[in-house]
Structure 1
Amino acid sequence: MAGKRYYWLKLQVSFFQELIIKQLRTLPEGDSIVLLYLKLLLKAINTEGIIYYQNILPSLHEEIALDTGEKPALVKLTISALCQYHAAVFLDDQSLQLLYLEDMVGSESASAARVRNHRANQKLLKEKEQAALQCNATVTEGNTTEISSSTEIENSKKEEKKPKKEGEPEIEEIPSYFADTVLNSMFLSYLEYRKENGKEVKGKAIGYCIDKLESLSNSPVEQVAIIKQTIQNGWTDFFPVKEKKEKEKKSGSNVSSWLEREKIQSTGGVFGD
């Protein structure tokens, strides 16, 4: 059993530039004649270029008109022109042979068509897979960049929220109560000392402590000594430095003794009533 074959019409790129086509188009209804010529070529592909007269109607052109849906007059004019320009010829049985069709037909067996279609499908599938891989690679790269950026942002947020270790406060976070850095550090130690002993100083109470300290001395050195004295003695309030008080007391005693001696000398050692 012969295998099935497929046929197709092959038109040259220069089809509409050929002299016969140009000449056909110069005729009345020339474009319609060329279109009908193409229909006849397609109709004759499977019959080796012959359009058989079936003796159903009085003439071949009437049968072609019925088959193609064209007007009989147009079909008659087309056949006449094709025969005149040696593109067609009538056979003895009044059938029409299209002379140029042999060079315009392509064919292949059904098996060859299946192989060709299979190869075409495989090629198309491969192209789709490659396109999908490229697309996925682009998306993956975009996701990697996005994930990387998100990770960096997340890490940045974690760094911002990360609690400071004890003993590592940032400089801008240290409260500043005094311009003198040594005095300020000592005062902060005093506040921490009060907090550790359950007598934390807050708000307005801090202002009171500062006022009390400044009322005792305007010297940063002496103020540091006052704070040290308070912490060392376990006090909560500020008091004058002990050494200073003793010196003032001793100095006052010396002044009194000197005044007493001066008084005795001026009276000759005799005190009146």
Structure 2
Amino acid sequence: MADNRKYYYLKLKENFFDSDSIVLLEDMKDGILYSNILLKLYLKSLKNGGKLQLDEHIPYTAQMIATLTRHQIGTVERALEIFRQLGLVEQLDSGAFYMTEIELMIGQSSTEAERKRAARLENKALLPPRTKGGHLSDIRPPEIELEKE
């Protein structure tokens, strides 16, 4: 049987980069780097429901985030502080960072769901287009019983 993997994806609204916090973020010195770090952190936190953790017990540190995002440690530390000020990130009691708006952005799928979605689209393409209204009774009028004496 085929391997059924789970996939997580990030759903961004079309006005994501027009939101006040992102506009303010990108207007800062190194702001484009900060927005890049923010998007990478959103992606890293998808599997854990918004928490930035290596596993259940080990939260990411600023150094670990710098390594994973391929940015300098000073840039990451400044970015995390700015994210806290803008309300984009919270630090939990466990020390883990939590991406505050992630719940609205998480999407999830699996290989089986993708296969079914593709099959539905294929079946939809094979159906002949309807020319009249959308009711079955437009194609086949209902049967009427007539009483004969």
Fold match by TM threshold 0.5: yes
Q: Which residue of 2 aligns with 1:41?
A: 42
% identity of equivalent residues = 26
CA contact (8 A) 1:53 1:60 kept: no
Aligned residue runs from structure 1 range 192-271, under 5 A: none
CA contact (8 A) 1:53 1:94 kept: no
Q: Distance in 1 between matches of 2:124 and 2:76?
A: 43
How far apart are 1:123 and its partner, in Å?
6.3
Structure 1 stretches (4+) deviating beyond 3 angstroms? 53-56, 123-126
Task: Tell me, yes or no, if structure 1 residue 108 matches structure 2 residue 119.
Answer: no
Q: Which residue of 2 aligns with 1:72?
A: 73
Task: Tell me, yes or no, if structure 1 residue 13 matches structure 2 residue 9.
Answer: no
Q: Which amino acid aligns with 2:115?
A: R
Q: Distance in 2 between matches of 1:72 and 1:124?
A: 51
Q: Which residue of 2 aligns with 1:91?
A: 92
Q: Which residue of 1 aligns with 2:132?
A: none
Greater fraction strand: 2
Q: Which residue of 1 aligns with 2:140?
A: none
Q: Which amino acid aligns with 1:62?
A: Q
Number of residue equivalences: 121
Q: Give the alignment's Cα RMSD to 1 decimal.
A: 2.4
How far apart are 1:124 and its partner, in Å?
9.6
In 2 relative to 1, CA 5–53 (structure 1 residues): closer, same or farther, beyond 3 Å? closer
Q: Which residue of 2 aligns with 1:180?
A: none
CA contact (8 A) 1:53 1:95 kept: no
Q: Distance in 1 between matches of 2:124 and 2:9?
A: 22
Which of the pair has more CA radius of gyration?
A: 1
Q: Which amino acid aligns with 1:69?
A: R
Q: Distance in 1 between matches of 2:124 and 2:32?
A: 38
TM-score relative to the length of structure 1: 0.41
SS at match of 1:46: coil
Q: Distance in 1 between matches of 2:83 and 2:113?
A: 34
Q: Distance in 2 between matches of 1:7 and 1:118?
A: 21
CA contact (8 A) 1:53 1:93 kept: no
CA contact (8 A) 1:8 1:105 kept: yes
Q: Distance in 1 between matches of 2:73 and 2:67?
A: 8
Deviation track 1:45-99 (CA, whole Å, cap 9, x = no partner) reads 111111026798xx81101011121111111111111111111101122110001
Aligned residue runs from structure 1 range 143-182, under 5 A: none
* Structure 2 residues without counterparts, runs of 5 or longer: 127-149
